[in-house]
Structure formats: C-alpha cells, structure tokens
Amino acid sequence: MTWECAECHAPEAQRNRLDAVCHHCGKLLCRQDRRLIADAAFDPAGGQANQTAVHCRACLRRHHTPIDIPLGLPDQ
C-alpha cells in the first residue's frame, strides 16, 4: 500500500515527502499542501501562540479566522 497526500492524492516519493498530519483531523499531508499557522491551541495562558500547527485546507477554513493566519509564516 502506498501512502498519499489527502489533499493532492500524490503518492509518497522522495520528491513528495508526506511529513505532516493535520492537527484537527489527522489527514496525511505533503509539504505543498500543509498549511502552518501559529495556533492558539498551543497557548493556554492567553498570550501569543509561539508554536505552529499543521492544517489541511478544510480545517484551516473551519477552525480559524483570517486574523489567526500570520502573513509570511515560513514553511518549515
């Protein structure tokens, strides 16, 4: 069985690494399809979140507002 990205359905290969899962739904994601944001789920004190969380497109839209998504956050 070959693993594939839940977004683009490309099979895992050396050029297409599947190295992340959405932290809301658990979908397996490739580097091109994962979305990283500073997520308030990692900030229980109510200040600023200082860790990024991986999201698929659907969960990013479903669980976060555009204000949650900092522009220019580097893809790690």
| Per-residue model confidence as pLDDT tens for the chain (76 residues) | 689 999 999 988 867 789 899 999 999 999 899 988 877 666 666 666 567 889 999 998 898 876 655 544 445 4
Q: What whole-number distance in Å separates Cα of residue 50 and Cα of residue 42?
A: 7
| Tokens (6 digits) for 63 | 């669980």
**Number of CB atoms found within 10 A of residue 36's CB:** 17
Tokens 């990205």 found at: 5
Distances (CA, A) of 53 to 1, 21, 35, 41, 69: 28, 9, 8, 9, 11
pTM: 0.71
